[in-house]
A and B are shown apart, each in its own frame.
Chain A
Amino acid sequence: AQSVAQPEDQVNVAEGNPLTVKCTYSVSGNPYLFWYVQYPNRGLQFLLKYITGDNLVKGSYGFEAEFNKSQTSFHLKKPSALVSDSALYFCAVRSPGSARQLTFGSGTQLTVLP
């Protein structure tokens, strides 16, 4: 079985401050991990993914995520938040040994306050 948890429904951060959106996962074997962002009334947009290699993955719009195998986490980070980063963020996981497709987390609403 594969699952992903986003423990925070809502994250608020002041503009210019660093932001972190948390994600933990459970899979058999090494995971494939993804972050997506959803702006109001839009579909999801891909931000970044971890398949193999460096634990720090850089993605679109200045976002990055760190894969931590021992803590089974893949937290999304950005050094300096923008008001325009306010959106709904989804973490997703897939086990490479499985025929299952992606399993998504429940989402975290990020609000960046001016």
Chain B
Amino acid sequence: DVKVTQSSRYLVKRTGEKVFLECVQDMDHENMFWYRQDPGLGLRLIYFSYDVKMKEKGDIPEGYSVSREKKERFSLILESASTNQTSMYLCASNLSRTGRVGNQPQHFGDGTRLSIL
């Protein structure tokens, strides 16, 4: 079974801090994704990566950056946290050996609920 592990379930940080959210998958998936989930807005894609050191912006990349130094690990970075970044953050991965965008289901971690005070 695919396992996507997010390092923290709950995190509280202060405005202006640099925040790191970590995600690890154990199934050699090529694609990894970071979403934020807000009530009434569903999931919105922040960034995704289709290979090591490769990244592409999603729908709401402003205020975020990502890092993928190893295939199994994808980090989301809030450069200077702000209160409007308080949210649930979900990491996901899927296989996709045929190109950047796969039709395989995405496998999700359990999320990190981040509060910025």
Contact = CB atoms under 8 A, between A and B. Distances in A.
Interface of A: 6, 9, 32, 34, 36, 41-46, 49, 51, 90, 94, 96, 98-102, 104-107
14 contacts: A32-B103, A34-B105, A43-B90, A43-B92, A44-B108, A45-B108, A46-B105, A46-B107, A49-B103, A96-B103, A99-B100, A99-B101, A102-B45, A106-B42
A43 B109 contact: yes
A100 B33 CA distance: 12
Interface in B72-117: 90, 92, 100-101, 103, 105-111
Residue among A49, A96, A101 facing the most chain B CB atoms (10 A cut-off): A101
Contacts of A46: 105-107
A101 B42 contact: no
Given A41-B110, A43-B108, A43-B111, A90 B103 contact: no
Contact of A102 (B9, B90, B106): B106
Given A43-B90, A44-B90, A101-B58, A49 B111 contact: no
Interface string B34-77: 01000011111100100000000010000000000000000000
Given A41-B110, A46-B105, A101-B45, A106 B58 contact: no
A101 B103 contact: no
Contacts, number: 55
Contacts of A90: 42-43
Size bracket, chain B contacts: 20 to 34
Given A42-B110, A43-B4, A101-B48, A106 B41 contact: yes
B100 A51 contact: no
Contacts of B108: 36, 43-45
A10 B10 CA distance: 27
Interface string B2-25: 001000010000000000000000
B103 A51 contact: yes
The 10 lowest CB-CB distance pairs between A and B, nearest first, are A43-B108, A46-B105, A104-B43, A106-B42, A104-B42, A44-B108, A43-B110, A43-B109, A107-B42, A42-B110
